[in-house]
Structures are given as C-alpha cells and as structure tokens.
C-alpha cells in the first residue's frame, strides 16, 4: 500500500473545476497581457493558458497537496530530434516572473511519469525570480522541483530550499535526468540559481545534479548548490551542479559547497561540479567545447562502490560512447568530449572508492569490515537526511503505533472493507473480495517456515505476515532518537538509535505479478541501537507517514544483513505496519479504503456493479455557486452511461474519463453511501461519501463529500 492520498477533485467526476479559478479572465487573453497570480487556484490555472505571461504577487503555500505540473512533455514525434522536441500545445510557452515570492509545500507522486516539477515542460519560455520550499517530488525521468524539461528556455534567479527528489526505475528511467532547478535542459540557460536538495536514485539511472540533471547544449552561470545525491548501482553522470553538461558552452562562476555524492558499484562519470561535459573543436560537430571558468568547489565528499570510473574533483570525464564515430561518420566523435578548466578553486574535496579502500587494507581487513558493518552504512547504503524518516513518524512529542492490521482486521471494522469492495465488485462478490484482500496480509507464517512452504507450493501466490512479531505490542518513536517497545508480557524497554542510512530490502529478488517477473527491491531508512537490543537491535523504516498514507511500514530484528532479505532468511515474507493509537476513525477509514482501492480490478464492471450505479446514469450539472463569482457561467457536468463509464466536461472540453461505482451502504434505499471513481487517465481510484436526494423543486441532487471539498450536481431532465 504505497500510493499517497491524491486530490480527489482532480481525479474523479468532480473534474478539474478547482484548477480554473482564472479561466474566465485568461482564455481570451493575448500573449502580451500580464496575468497576476496570488492564490493556489490561480497558479493551477496556468495549465488553462500555457502561453500566458504571469507574475506572482503573493507567497503561495500549497499545504502539502499533490501538485499537477504546469505544462507536460508530449513528443513532437518518435524519431530523431522530434523525440526530444516538445509539442508546443502541451508545454508551458509563456513567461513566469515570481517577483521574489515563495511557492511552498507541494508533493508530486508520479513514479511512472516523465517531465515532472512545478513546471512539467517549458518550451521557448522564461521562468524566473521565485523560491520553492519543501517540495517532495517522485518521478521516473526528468524529475525536478522547478522544471522537469526546459527546452530553448531561460531559467533564472530561482532558489530551491529543502527539496527531496526521488527517482523510480521504469522503462523510461535509464537516461534519468534529475535536478532541483532543471531536470533536463536542451538549448537552454540556467542563471543565478541557488539550491539545497536531496536526490535519491535507484539502480540503472543517470544524470543527477543539485541544480541541473541532464543538460545538453545548456549552460549554467552564477549558480550555487548544496545537498546530497545518493545513487544505486550502475549509475552515471553525477555532479554537485549538474549530472551532465554535454555541449554546454559554459559553467561560469558556479559554487558547490557542502555536497555529498554517494554511488554504488559500477558507477562512472562523477565530479564535484559535473559528472561529464564538453564537446568537439570541429565546427561541423555542432557541440561546443565546454569552458569551466571561475567555479569554486569546497567541502565535497564523493564515495563510490566497486569498479568506479571517471571520478574527479571538478569534471568527472568527457562523454564517450563506442560506435559514435561510426554512427555519425566523423572521426572526431571517436574521442571523449573536450572541456577547459580556468580559474577554478577546490578545497576539502574527499574522494573515496571501495576499490581504493580494498587496495589499502591489510590482513585484518576482513575482521575490520565485520566490525564496521555494525556502525556504518553498507556499500549500497545512502543517506537521505540527517535523521531519515524517524523524525517525521515520531512527530513533535513522540507517536505510539499499534499494529495496523490488528486494528483494520478487527470485526468492528469489517464494514470499512466490505462497503468499499461492494461498490466496485457488487454486493454479492464483496465478501469474497474482502477475504482475498485480507488474506494477502494476514499470514501467520514467515521466515524459514514460509520459505519452506512456498518452495513446496510454488503454484500459490505468496502472502505475508504483517503482524508484530517477537512479542511486540506497541512501539513508540520519539523525536530524541529513542524507540520504546512495549511487549505483550507487560514489560517495556527504551533504546537510543543512530541513523545508518538507506538500505535496500529485496535486492536482486523478484516475483511474478500479472504474468510478469518484477523486482521487489525497495529502500528503507535504517537505525541501529547504541546498545544491545536483541530483536529490536535494528529498525528498517519505509518512507510512509500517517499524514501521507495513514500508516507506517517497517521491519525490526537483530541482524542487519538478514533483515535485507524479502523472500529469504528469518524475516522472509514479513513486513509489518503501524497505526497511530490516537488516530481518528476517519483516518482509519481512509486508510482501509486506500488499501482496497489499490487492490481491485477496474478492467470491467461486474453486472451487479452496473445495477448499483443505475441511479447515476445520465447527465449531471454541477452547482458552482458556492465557489465564487469567478465560476459564474462555467459549465461543468459529467455523464455516466449504462456501462458505468463516465466523462467530465468543462466549457466543452473533456477533463476526466472515468469508471463510476456506487454502493448504498446506509439503510437500504436511503440514498447515502460510498461512491468510487476510477480515472482512466491517471489509473487511480478514489472514494467519497455521497447522498442522493430530491430537492424542493423536484430535482434529483447528487452531493459528493470528500476531504478535498463538497460539490453538488443536479440531474439533467
């Protein structure tokens, strides 16, 4: 259960009315007009006029909401240069002047998407003069806090504070490109930008820098970076300012200070300034030699695993690919790209590789390594922040967690599962569907017993033991880095823990899902007791928080290495979850719904589910009168057909395509229950309470109630 809560208003039949606050005043605007932005709704509405000229007139706090990037990258074609050229009707092509203001606290959770950031894709655009604070961005490739892809654009005078950018492996992630200001730059400029960020890469990704990620024919001037880059195995192109500067004309007067780069095995092209850069002197190459001038690098630590190559204090190496000369028919391509370094300074640059450490070790290396395993991160461990996720799950005063599934599987909470399932599969099949979902997480076997069982029953799908083990009843995470465990026998113990870094569980392990073999590897923040705590010696914490997913997921045990096995060792087939003992009933309900909605099949409607939705067949017109004068005259409606398929339309434009589900979960026939919409665009489902009533005029009114807001619709005659 990994998906964070999304904004229901953006994904269901509510359509996108919350993003159209200035639609009326922008849809007829000329490109030369200046449009002022002072609210979140007005900022979202940039997507309604991607060619506009905008100025920010106030700070905007997005409150941790899931953000939809402004502009998207749609390829102009699939071959050659067209594959890198944005379709200008989808990209942001205007100007955006922040006038020194701040945009704070937004989340983007799109692990399969490319070109994500505050701006997804900017083409022929100018973006300048604002601060982004506390952005948390997850994506596949071209992932940034500010601009996912900058094409022929100018990005300047941007400050990024405290961004966390996480890359996810997918079919499009191998070329990577991750940076807090610009993830991917093509024929653009980045000037006078300052950023502090943590960037986290899995295996087999590339091109990450604190300012810019993969920059092609894109220069960086007068920019400053601090932060961390933590990469898995088989990665390349990592640098303090940028991951790559291929064909960049210049890196001028840039500063990297307090930068830590950690990479796994088989990683290459890593530098304090940029991982690789340069071009060719031959004019016909069209790729200029890069001039690195007046740059200052200090307090930089680069740590690599085995088989590192092309690692240096300033520029890791020139770009080189075998076969390039033959492919392009020019001899100069047979050499690495060229760059010059002039008037640059370095201070306190520490480069350490696993290979160097091994070469310098003496005959006591084996015993020293065994001892250090208990006190320092392993070769593939990485550091995401000073204290990892523990601070967030502890809260200001410490938080106590009971077992999440002890709570959710309790008899009194059965209806939370049943009602959600009944909406999607129909009431007749709901009980079996709930039993199936609950069975996946309620095994009583784990470790060697489970391993032995599944070796003899390979035809069965694996299920997990998700309960607390080794006598644990309650666990309290405290902000002072202590963890208190209360046991079933009434005793308790408190230990102080030190943060080791990020370790992978399930590295190299796979499972078959929907006919395909997939990796099960995932990262955890790891903490070790400073004394001997037995089965509570280590805690592996995933990045869930109560605020994001309504629960936390973790492992604990006495052996660091054994805890990293997902289907192996004494902790195989076990991953537990905690639920805040003080959480309210609404949080519990939303969390159970999240689990259910993520684990049901929306490929077709069951016959009974079609019958349940029959009262919604037809067209429903939104009542927007409660949302202000700016919505006067806006036509928002949705239509659901006899197959449960729905379409939302705003002012003649289709804004949502979804499958609708309904279950009357109150007293039968009272017109109240749970409504579910599955977005065919986002491939996500969300739930809301509903009521169906007849008003004083005899009109049928549907009202949907969600955390994001309440909206009513009248059924068209």
For residue 175, being part of any structural domain is answered with yes
Segment 428-437 mean pLDDT: 91
CATH of residue 442's domain is 2.40.128.20
Do 414 and 534 lie in one domain? The reply is yes
Tokens of 204: 């087999």
Q: pLDDT tens for residues 356-389?
A: 544 443 333 333 333 334 333 433 333 334 678 9
**Nearest alpha-carbon partner for 113 in 160, 153, 148, 87:** 148
Tokens of 395: 């809260």
Taking a C-beta distance cutoff of 8 angstroms, is the pair 567, 520 a contact? yes
Task: Identify the CA nearest to 318 among candidates 305, 304, 332.
Answer: 332
Higher pLDDT, 491 or 353: 491
Using 50, 70 and 90 to split pLDDT, how confident is the model at 26?
A: very low
**Predicted local distance difference test score (pLDDT) of residue 120:** 94
pLDDT value of residue 671: 84
Q: What is the pLDDT of residue 2?
A: 29
- The CATH number linked to 689 is 2.40.128
Contact of 339 with 278, CB cutoff 8 Å: yes
Residues 352 and 394 in one domain: no
Confidence of residue 172 (pLDDT cuts 50, 70, 90): low
Contact by Cβ (8 Å): 86, 151: yes
Q: Are residues 277 and 400 both part of a single domain?
A: no
- Domain limit, last residue, from 565, 598, 631: 598
- How would you write 317-366 as a 3-class SS string? EECCCCCHHHHHCCHHHHCCCEEEEECCEEEEEEEEEHHHHHHHCCCCHH
What is the number of residues in the chain? 717
Residues 510 and 415 in one domain: yes
Give the model confidence (pLDDT) of 76-113 as tens digits.
Answer: 776 666 667 888 889 999 999 999 999 999 999 988 88
Judgement on whether residues 671 and 572 belong to the same structural domain of the protein: no
Q: Please identify, among 598, 625, 653, the residue that sits at the C-terminal boundary of a domain.
A: 598
Of residues 170, 101, 171, the one with CA closest to residue 138: 170
Number of Cβ within 10 Å of residue 56's Cβ equals: 21
**CA–centroid distance for 421 within its chain:** 27
pLDDT of residue 259: 95
Secondary structure letter of residue 562 according to DSSP:
G
User: In this prediction, what percent of the chain has a pLDDT beyond 70?
Assistant: 87
Question: Do residues 541 and 659 both lie within one domain?
Answer: no
- Judged against a pLDDT cut of 60, whether residue 471 lies above it is answered with yes
Q: Quote the number of domains for the chain.
A: 3
* In a shared domain, residues 214 and 186: yes
Q: Of the candidates 180, 191, 165, 236, which has an alpha carbon nearest to the alpha carbon of residue 213?
A: 180
My answer on whether 347 and 425 are in the same domain is no
pLDDT of residue 169: 77
Report pLDDT for 332: 76
What's the average model confidence in pLDDT over 187-214? 93
Q: Would you state the pLDDT for residue 669?
A: 63
Mean pLDDT across 171-188: 83
pLDDT tens digits for 394-407? 999 999 999 999 99
pLDDT digits (tens, 9 = 90+) for 531-541: 989 999 999 99
> DSSP state, 111?
T
Per-residue three-class SS string for 149-168: EEECCEEEEEEEEEEEEEEC
For the beta carbon of residue 92, count every other beta carbon within 10 angstroms: 31
Is residue 149 situated within a structural domain?
Answer: yes
Query: From CA 694, how far away is CA 697, in angstroms rounded?
Result: 8
- Cα distance between the two ends of the chain: 42
- Does the residue 87 lie in any domain? yes
If one compares 436 and 400, the residue with the highest pLDDT of the two is: 400
Q: Are 567 and 542 members of one domain?
A: yes
Banded pLDDT at 240 (limits 50, 70, 90): very high
Output the pLDDT for position 708. Answer: 66
Whether residue 47 lies inside any domain: the answer is no
Q: What is the mean pLDDT of the chain?
A: 85
What's the pLDDT tens digit per position in 120-158?
999 999 999 999 999 999 998 999 999 999 999 999 999
> Does 12 fall in a domain?
no
Q: Are residues 519 and 648 in the same domain?
A: no
Q: Is residue 72 part of a domain?
A: yes
Do 687 and 581 sit in the same domain of this protein? no
Residue 30 lies in a domain: no
Query: Which range scores top for mean pLDDT: 569-578, 604-613, 706-715?
Result: 569-578
Residue 244 lies in a domain: yes
* Dihedral angle over CA of 611, 681, 166, 95, nearest 10: -140
Give the pLDDT mean for 290-316. Answer: 92
Question: Domain ends where: 356, 375, 404?
Answer: 356
Residue 51 has pLDDT above 80, yes or no: yes
* pLDDT score at 174: 55
Instruction: Indicate whether 628 pLDDT > 80.
Output: no
- Band of pLDDT at residue 518, cut at 50, 70 and 90: confident
Q: What is the CATH number of the domain that holds 324?
A: 2.160.20
74 pLDDT higher than 60: yes
pLDDT of 543 strictly over 90: no
Residue 327 lies in domain: 61-356
- Sequence-distant (6+) residues with CB within 8 A of 1 are 549, 551, 553, 577, 594, 595, 598
To the question of pTM greater than 0.85 for the whole model, the response is no
**Contact call for residues 597 and 575 (beta carbons, < 8 A):** no
């Amino acid at each position: 259960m990994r998906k964070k809560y999304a904004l229901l208003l953006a994904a269901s039949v509510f359509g996108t009315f919350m993003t159209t606050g200035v639609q009326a005043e922008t849809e007829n605007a000329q490109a030369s007009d200046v449009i002022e932005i002072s609210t979140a709704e007005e900022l979202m509405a940039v997507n309604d006029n991607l060619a506009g000229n905008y100025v920010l007139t106030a700070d905007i706090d997005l409150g941790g909401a899931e953000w939809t990037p402004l502009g998207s990258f749609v390829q102009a074609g699939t071959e050659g240069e067209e594959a890198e050229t944005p379709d200008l009707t989808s990209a942001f092509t205007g100007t955006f002047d922040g006038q020194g203001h701040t945009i704070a606290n937004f989340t983007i959770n799109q692990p399969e998407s490319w070109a994500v950031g505050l701006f997804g894709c900017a083409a022929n655009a100018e973006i300048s003069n604002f601060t982004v604070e506390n952005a948390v961005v997850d994506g596949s490739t071209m992932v940034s806090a500010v601009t996912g892809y900058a094409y022929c654009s100018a990005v300047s005078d941007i400050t990024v504070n405290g961004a966390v950018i996480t890359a996810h492996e997918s079919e499009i992630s191998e070329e990577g490109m991750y940076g807090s200001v610009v993830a991917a730059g093509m024929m653009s400029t980045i000037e006078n930008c300052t950023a502090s960020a943590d960037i986290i890469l899995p295996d087999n990704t590339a091109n990450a820098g604190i300012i810019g990620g993969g920059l092609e024919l894109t220069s960086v001037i007068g920019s400053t970076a601090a932060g961390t880059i933590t990469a898995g195995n088989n990665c390349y192109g990592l640098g303090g300012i940028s991951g790559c500067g291929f064909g960049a004309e210049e890196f001028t007067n840039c500063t990297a200070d307090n930068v830590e780069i950690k990479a796994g095995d088989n990683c290459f092209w890593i530098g304090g300034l940029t991982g690789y850069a340069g071009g060719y002197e031959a004019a016909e190459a069209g790729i200029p030699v890069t001039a690195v001038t007046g740059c200052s690098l200090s307090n930089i630590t680069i740590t690599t695993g085995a088989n590192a190559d092309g690692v240096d204090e300033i520029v890791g190496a020139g770009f080189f690919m075998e076969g390039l000369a033959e492919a392009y028919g020019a001899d100069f391509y047979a050499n690495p790209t060229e760059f010059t370094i002039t008037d640059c300074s370095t201070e306190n640059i520490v480069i350490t590789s696993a290979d160097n450490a091994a070469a310098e070790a003496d005959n006591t290396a084996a015993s020293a390594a065994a001892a250090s395993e208990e006190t320092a991160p392993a070769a593939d461990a990485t550091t995401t922040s000073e204290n990892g996720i523990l601070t967030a799950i502890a809260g200001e005063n410490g938080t106590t967690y009971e077992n999440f599934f002890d709570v959710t599987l309790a008899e009194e909470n059965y209806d939370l599962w049943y009602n959600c399932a009944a909406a999607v599969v129909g009431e007749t099949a709901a009980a079996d569907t709930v039993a199936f979902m609950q069975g996946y997480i309620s095994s009583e076997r784990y470790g060697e017993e489970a391993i032995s069982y599944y070796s003899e029953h390979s035809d069965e799908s694996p299920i997990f033991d998700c309960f607390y083990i080794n006598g644990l009843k309650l666990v309290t995470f405290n902000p002072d880095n202590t963890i208190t465990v209360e046991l079933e026998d009434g005793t308790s113990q408190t230990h102080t823990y030190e943060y080791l870094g990020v370790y992978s569980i399930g590295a190299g392990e796979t499972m078959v899902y929907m006919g395909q073999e997939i990796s099960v590897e995932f990262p955890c923040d790891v903490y070790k007791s400073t004394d001997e705590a037995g089965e509570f010696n280590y805690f592996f914490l995933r990045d869930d928080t109560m605020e994001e997913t309504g629960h936390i997921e973790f492992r604990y045990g006495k052996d660091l290495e054994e805890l990293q096995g997902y289907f192996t060792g004494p902790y195989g087939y076990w991953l537990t979850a905690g639920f805040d003992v003080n959480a309210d009933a609404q949080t519990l309900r939303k969390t159970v719904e999240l689990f259910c909605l993520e684990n049901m099949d929306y490929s077709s409607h069951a016959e009974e589910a079609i019958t349940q939705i029959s009262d919604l067949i037809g067209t429903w017109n939104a009542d927007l009168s409660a949302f202000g004068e700016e919505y006067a005259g806006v036509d928002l409606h949705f239509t659901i057909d006899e197959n449960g398929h729905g379409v939302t339309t705003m002012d003649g434009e289709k804004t949502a395509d979804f499958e609708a589900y309904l279950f009357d979960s109150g007293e039968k026939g009272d017109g109240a229950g749970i409504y579910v919409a599955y977005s065919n665009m986002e491939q996500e489902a969300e739930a809301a309470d509903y009521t169906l009533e007849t008003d004083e005029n005899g009109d049928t009114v549907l009202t949907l109630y969600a955390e994001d807001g309440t909206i009513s619709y009248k059924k068209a005659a």
